[in-house]
Amino acid sequence: MRHIKFLYIIFLLSLISCGSADTGNAAKGTISWLPYASTDKGQVCVDEGISSPTIDIACRELRGHWDGAPVNIHRTTDGDAIGKNGFAISQSDSQVDIYAPDDLGILYGVYALLRNPELGRDGRVEESPFYDLRLLNHWDNLNGTIERGYAGKSLWKWEELPDSVSPRYEEYARANAAIGINGAVLNNVNASPKILSEEYLKKVAVLADIFRPYGIKVYLSVNFASPMVLDSLPTADPLNPEVVKWWTGKADEIYSLIPDFGGFLVKANSEGQPGPMDFGRTHADGANMLAEALKPHDGVVMWRAFVYSPADADRAKQAYLEFQPLDGKFADNVIIQIKNGPVDFQPREPYSPLFSAMAQTDVMAEFQITQEYLGHANHLAYLAPMWTEFFDYVQPFDAIAGVANIGDDDNWTGHPLAQANWYAFGRLAWNPQLTSTQIADEWLSMALVDKARTPEDVYESLLGMFDTSREAVVDYMMPLGLHHLFAFGHHYGPEPWCDVEGARPDWLPKYYHRADSIGLGFDRSPSGSNAVGQYPEPLRSQLASVETCPEEFLLWFHHVPWSHRMKSGNTLWEELCIAYQRGVEKVEEYQQTWEKAEPYISPELYADVETRLATQLKDAKWWRDACLQYFAQYSKMPIPAEIASEMRPLEELMKIHLPITNYKSPTPALLDSLR
């Protein structure tokens, strides 16, 4: 057995208990799950021989924020079966022991303990991450804007780097490490080739240096035409030897600056981005060529399967059609990154059938944490239920990514409660077995209220608000499997009628809802596009029939007559009216919950969310009024009088056009001036 000598370090400051963050953290410009309170007691004992920048951070966090019994940190021996980057914790009144096979495991153990000071009290607790790669994808442009970002500008101040370094870079790394995220793709998948220039790689290297001790690897999105744009090569054909040489050289250059660089994320032949198909090659040709360049350095290629073209049938089938035939053709260090649903991050989608069709290929899920389609930074939509719903259908796969909702706003995420979505993504990437309620409970008690001082009914209402909020958005935007009823471009408000001259049909709502005098919904059954045929049995048969298709996906898979009897006994039309109204009433309920919770929430946070909920309610009504009145033109059925009486006329609603870009949430003032 190894000789172990303990080094005890005792600090004598402040009295505030750690683990229970100040209430209202979310509003203060701080990360709600990080410990900030300082303590005088943090005693840490480290196994001799363990020393690294990561261990230094672990110790610093304990010394600064832990006020329990002394903590002993141990490196485990080979015989101990704790998984890579995992940890075990046990504690008694007199000591706490953290065991881990590696430095990062120790850091994760420390953050777990700080988050839950009781961890390991009732017996040894052992954890290790479920997915090896747990990444954030930033859709940040080099000019500081963020595609589909609603929390200000990019955190990365490219014009200041590499010389000037914002303190927020380290805070970002700390926040991610504390929830187990271990990688960040820094730039937009609609990638500027410039990111691979020497000038930018030097900036990237500075970020990588800051993130490294926190276990966060840096990755980059790359533009497939980079050799042409940066170095005037006549082609980017992946089989051309000059192109291969260019990428090999570029990989070597990157690794000389960033020895632990993670790899590339690629959006190719999608929405106008260049790719191997421009040169008559396949996705596999393109991905494998990049993979070969990265392989000597242990880098990976994450190749996105978000592809569709206007010419082909049903957009929901296209990723599968394009990628499934390539199963088994990808190199070992290629991972196919697939959006959770087959279309595009809608409030509710069935899982993408590609996940069950790539048995010989590594695949990873891409979730969208930023709320492109769920009310931007104006709506409360806690997304963990959406993701756990996905896990119910699909598991396991190899890695996971979330499109970040982070920007340089003081509160990091625009809507202060949207920090919960960043948190939930990290927690689920660590352990997809956690329930959405468990995670909401963790977050609420750290970020929003002091659980011990909040009456149980108030706390339960807040928890209920979180847990139902995504379903409420589904109800007031697009219930029963409806999808993509959004206004063109900014994806904020309702435009089921939208017609843009010259626009691709698959970018327009009518393509998706197919309302007519008979009914509503997209027929993807065997008699329609047969998208159901891409799902494995028995799910395929279940989805194929109107009778057995889960009602939350009904209009996704079927064109259903307006008078179809739903399980409740109501007609489809009645059920649609009920759902839209239920969504509106849910938001009214959230306002009451919020009011009830006022005494227990910091005033600043209270006021901020109160304003956002008011906007959310107006938006919910806007959605309800627009969709129901528009669809009523086809159903020729009445909208219940109590709803109809408070509706704004459809002609007025059709005149609303939000003059906003992709990069901003509309302000309440703008919305009020238009509606």
* Residues forming the active site: 271, 344, 372
Distance CA 58, CA 108 (A): 8
Footprint of ligand GCW on 343-362 (CB under 6 A): 344-345
Which of residues 148 and 586 has its CB atom nearest to ligand GCW in the complex? Answer: 148
Which of residues 111 and 156 has its CB atom nearest to ligand GCW in the complex? Answer: 156
Q: Which residues are bridge partners to 561 per DSSP?
A: 519
The least distance separating ligand GCW from the CB of residue 352, rounded to whole angstroms, comes to 13
Footprint of ligand GCW on 251-280 (CB under 6 A): 267, 271
Distance CA 407, CA 53 (A): 27
Footprint of ligand GCW on 4-43 (CB under 6 A): none
Which of residues 344 and 575 has its CB atom nearest to ligand GCW in the complex? Answer: 344
Distance CA 202, CA 205 (A): 5
Options 18, 151, 189, 597; binder of ligand GCW; rule CB under 6 A: 189
Options 147, 170, 408, 589; binder of ligand GCW; rule CB under 6 A: 147
Structure tokens belonging to residue 82: 């704790």
Exposure of 253 in the CB half-sphere (CA atoms within 13 A): 15
Options 66, 139, 308, 535; binder of ligand GCW; rule CB under 6 A: 139
- Using an 8 Å Cβ cutoff, are 79 and 127 in contact? no
Count residues near ligand GCW (CB under 6 A).
Answer: 11
The least distance separating ligand GCW from the CB of residue 364, rounded to whole angstroms, comes to 14
Does residue number 214 form part of the binding site for ligand GCW (CB under 6 A)? no
- Using an 8 Å Cβ cutoff, are 508 and 481 in contact? no
Which of residues 307 and 462 has its CB atom nearest to ligand GCW in the complex? Answer: 307
The least distance separating ligand GCW from the CB of residue 246, rounded to whole angstroms, comes to 24
The least distance separating ligand GCW from the CB of residue 304, rounded to whole angstroms, comes to 7
Distance CA 666, CA 675 (A): 12
Which of residues 189 and 358 has its CB atom nearest to ligand GCW in the complex? Answer: 189
Options 75, 148, 250, 295; binder of ligand GCW; rule CB under 6 A: 148
Options 150, 306, 320, 466; binder of ligand GCW; rule CB under 6 A: 306
Sequence-distant (6+) residues with CB within 8 A of 239 are 279, 281, 285, 289
Distance CA 483, CA 55 (A): 48
What is the pairing mode between strands 263-266 and 217-222?
A: parallel
Nearest to 512 by CA among 496, 528, 494: 496
Which of residues 140 and 523 has its CB atom nearest to ligand GCW in the complex? Answer: 140
Residue 395: how many other CB atoms lie within 10 Å: 12
What is the pairing mode between strands 334-339 and 300-304?
A: parallel
Sequence-distant (6+) residues with CB within 8 A of 545 are 525
Which of residues 82 and 268 has its CB atom nearest to ligand GCW in the complex? Answer: 268
Which of residues 486 and 573 has its CB atom nearest to ligand GCW in the complex? Answer: 486
Q: Which residues are bridge partners to 44 per DSSP?
A: 9, 71
DSSP string covering 97-119, please? EEEESSHHHHHHHHHHHHH-TTT
Which of residues 373 and 522 has its CB atom nearest to ligand GCW in the complex? Answer: 373
Residue with nearest beta carbon to ligand GCW: 344
The least distance separating ligand GCW from the CB of residue 525, rounded to whole angstroms, comes to 26
Does residue number 585 form part of the binding site for ligand GCW (CB under 6 A)? no
Which of residues 350 and 528 has its CB atom nearest to ligand GCW in the complex? Answer: 350
DSSP string covering 343-381, please? SS--SS-PPPGGGGS-TTSEEEEEEE-S-TTTTTTTS--
Burial of 532-547, coded b for 16+ CB within 10 Å and e otherwise, reads bebbeeebeebbbebe
Footprint of ligand GCW on 509-568 (CB under 6 A): none
Distance CA 434, CA 419 (A): 18
> What separation in angstroms does the CA of 240 have from each of 101, 223, 264, 326?
44, 17, 20, 21
> What separation in angstroms does the CA of 537 have from each of 460, 533, 540, 544?
39, 9, 5, 10
- Using an 8 Å Cβ cutoff, are 246 and 234 in contact? no
- Using an 8 Å Cβ cutoff, are 41 and 11 in contact? yes
Report, in this order, helix, strand and coil percent for the chain, each rounded to 5.
40, 10, 45
The least distance separating ligand GCW from the CB of residue 319, rounded to whole angstroms, comes to 11
Distance CA 665, CA 636 (A): 35
Does residue number 190 form part of the binding site for ligand GCW (CB under 6 A)? yes
Nearest to 398 by CA among 182, 84, 130: 130
- Using an 8 Å Cβ cutoff, are 403 and 368 in contact? yes
In the shown chain, the binding pattern of residues 370 to 409 toward ligand GCW, with x for contact by CB under 6 A and - for none, equals --x-------------------------------------
Which of residues 214 and 345 has its CB atom nearest to ligand GCW in the complex? Answer: 345
Q: What is the largest CA-CA distance in the chain?
A: 82
- What is the contact surface with ligand GCW in residues (CB under 6 A)? 139, 147-148, 189-190, 267, 271, 306, 344-345, 372
